[in-house]
Chains A and B, each alone.
Chain A
Amino acid sequence: MSLTKQEWLALEKKAHELRNLCLDTTYWAGSGHIGGGMSSMDILTVLYHKYLRIKKDDPNWADRDRFILSKGHAGIAYAPVLCNYGYNDIEQLKTFNHTNSKMGIHLDSNKVVGVDASTGSLGHGLPIAAGTGLAARVLKKSYNTYCLMGDGELGEGSNWEAAMTINHYNLTNVISIVDRNHKMIDGDTEDVMKLEPLADKWTAFGFTVKKVDGQNIRELCEAIDFAHASDNPVLILADTKKGAGIKLMEDNYKWHYGAINDEIYAGAKKDLEEYYAKRIERVEREAK
């Protein structure tokens, strides 16, 4: 399923819209995990607007593809995606993190429509994804499960327990993605706790690893297409930038979680426009 220029442009436009919505939500909330939200946004966009087989009018459709956001703190990016998609009233984003809101930092599967698993405690997503993958076999369903992990959370051993399960049962219906933004709360991943050689680790656990630029929509699509065709479980190692699109935040671990005032908000809005323009230039340059 090759990506046409028109599709690529449409996805760029959607990603731009969602980045803005993530920034707005952070502004309305006063603060949030915007760094890891922005690094994930292209992945979320590609999944929700090209690959996930889901129905707008039937969010609980039994045969739908599942998406498990293992890096649950990226709820500030995920909530805008789900509201923009139509699963939840977009006005709810203005209540994000407010008392009695349905939406807090980590989205609740029983409160937010479209959330397949309540996550937040790290290292939980891949086991759940393995479970939905196994269930598809038992229930004879053809849906896929996509699981998006952060890189820092790979310190949790439960991920590797699940990796063994996915490999053991050859769960090719589970597509695992790591948002490799290289940053965690206390600094660079390699300073806090070495992850490298990360691709080799996944390979050793039986996965076929596809390394891509996680801020390149075409590369992401090619990797997902590859995973669909693979007869071996695939791990997409998406090299990203924390805070992608906002200069102040890019590659800055201090923006794992941050507060946004009017000045930062205005600057970030401007940055996102520039970022979008550059991204469109890339499409024009590289699209076939």
Chain B
Amino acid sequence: MAGGFVYTAVESTAMSTAEYYGNTLAELGREHPEIVALTADLATSTKIGIFQKEFPDRFFNVGIAEQNMFGCAAGMAKAGCVPFLSTFSVFASLRCADQLHTDICYQNINCKVIATHAGTSFGQAGSTHHAIVDLAVARSMPNLVVICPADGIETANAVRAAYEHNGPVYIRINRGFDRVLYSDADYGYQIGKAVELHEGSDVTVIATGSCAFQALQAAMFLENVQGIKVRVLNMHTIKPIDKEAILKAVKETGKIITAEDHNVIGGLGSAVAEVIAECDEPCKFKRLGIPDKFAPIGLHEDIMSIIGIDSNGIIKAVHGMLGVNTDDDDNWDDEV
């Protein structure tokens, strides 16, 4: 069963999200000779071939050895390089979690982890390749900035911002093609600052990664068809979370729904819940995400639909929170 909105690679003519990363890394490489790139046999998959080709002396493929890659990167950063590590999110966060924790975060070194194939974006590969706990792992590591861009343009912005940030950064990006949320990079991207995609006062949907596009689609549908005004925040930075934007949404809408391609435990939903729980304002709250189980195998858009983090799932959640009963609307005559 497919979702209500098309989300497939075959229909996209844009660059894949990882290609935006690869191109940005090469650009940064031209500007900054201290940048080095490391991968564990995933140069092709993570689209850093352009850097490899242009800077072969600053490119290191350590083979299928993620722990070693993270350790090497730590050593290189300690010596003055700025390493960008590229591997799948599921490995970056779990296979070498000890190295991420101790070598990189504990030492607070200037190292950037670009974790591709995030969430269920490599859906067909099954749960061994779904990264559904990486935000929880990364978010709980001191010193680590955690970013989940919404599309290719935002990935480019995030990668540049990560270079400017002096310290460890974890960026999770999807496999393949994201739906295009931004056509222009100049929208004021800042680490830790949510972007309002849609104005609204009835309810706020805080979304991250591929859910940001879905949330915007949902908000447009709800406003145009039902007059429901949904504020949509693209929470591209999971840590440090934008408390100000969340508290503003609490005060002004009193209802918040989070949406993420991640376990509902430990990711965006948890981060937002922590802010709400510690403020003195009442707020209705719901988390959308993978309900603490392993996701099915399938196309990314199908999985998003199945777990209810596509636009239909978000619309349903908004209806639920506002008490809108859609079951009685059997009259199709008013539909265009």
Contacts and interface: CB of A to CB of B under 8 A. Distances in A.
A162 B76 CA distance: 14
Interface stretch (A5-13, A45-53, A112-120): A112-120
Given A118-B107, A124-B103, A138 B72 contact: no
Interface stretch (A128-136, A234-242, A245-253): A128-136
Contact of A135 (B69, B76, B98, B106): B76
Kindly name the residue among B58, B71, B75 whose own CB sees the greatest number of chain A CB atoms within 10 A: B75
A157 interface: yes
B325 to A, nearest CB: 55
Interface range on chain A (Cβ under 8 Å from partner): 35 or more
Interface string B62-80: 1101011111111111111
B285 interface: no
B80 A130 contact: no
A260 to B, nearest CB: 28
B23 interface: no
A8 B65 CA distance: 41
Kindly name the residue among A110, A128, A145, A169 whose own CB sees the greatest number of chain B CB atoms within 10 A: A128
B140 interface: no
Interface string A149-161: 0000000011001
Given A118-B107, A161-B65, A128 B74 contact: yes
A133 B75 CA distance: 8
Interface in A244-284: none
Contacts of B31: none
A113 to B, nearest CB: 14
A134 B75 contact: yes
B72 A136 contact: no
B36 A165 contact: no
Nearest to B66: A161
A109 B77 CA distance: 13
A128 B83 CA distance: 13
A163 B74 CA distance: 16
A161 B63 CA distance: 9
Contacts of A116: 78
A73 interface: no
B251 to A, nearest CB: 39
A229 interface: no
A158 B71 contact: yes
Contacts, number: 118
A161 B67 contact: yes
A1 interface: no
Given A110-B108, A164-B63, A127 B72 contact: yes
Contacts of B106: 108, 118
A135 B62 contact: no
B318 interface: no
A230 interface: no
A138 B58 contact: yes
Nearest to B62: A165
A162 B79 CA distance: 17
Contacts of A139: 34, 79-81
Contacts of B63: 161, 164-165, 168
A121 interface: yes
Contacts of B80: 62, 135, 139
Contacts of B58: 138
Given A118-B106, A139-B79, A134 B67 contact: no
A132 B62 contact: no
B107 A110 contact: yes
Nearest to B58: A138
B102 A162 contact: no
Contact of A162 (B60, B71, B77, B98): B71
A68 B62 CA distance: 20
A98 B283 CA distance: 45
Contact of A128 (B36, B57, B71, B108): B71
A128 B108 CA distance: 14
Interface in B262-281: none
A114 to B, nearest CB: 13
Contacts of A130: 68, 71-72, 75
Given A110-B107, A110-B108, A117 B65 contact: no
Nearest to A117: B78
A36 B42 CA distance: 39
B142 to A, nearest CB: 12
Contacts of A62: 80
A204 to B, nearest CB: 16
Interface of B: 34, 36, 57-58, 60, 62-63, 65, 67-81, 83, 98-99, 102-103, 106-108
List the 7 shortest-distance A-B pairs measured between CB atoms, nearest first: A131-B75, A127-B71, A161-B68, A135-B79, A161-B65, A131-B72, A128-B75
Given A138-B34, A139-B81, A162-B72, 7 more contacts: A108-B106, A127-B71, A128-B75, A129-B75, A131-B83, A162-B71, A165-B72
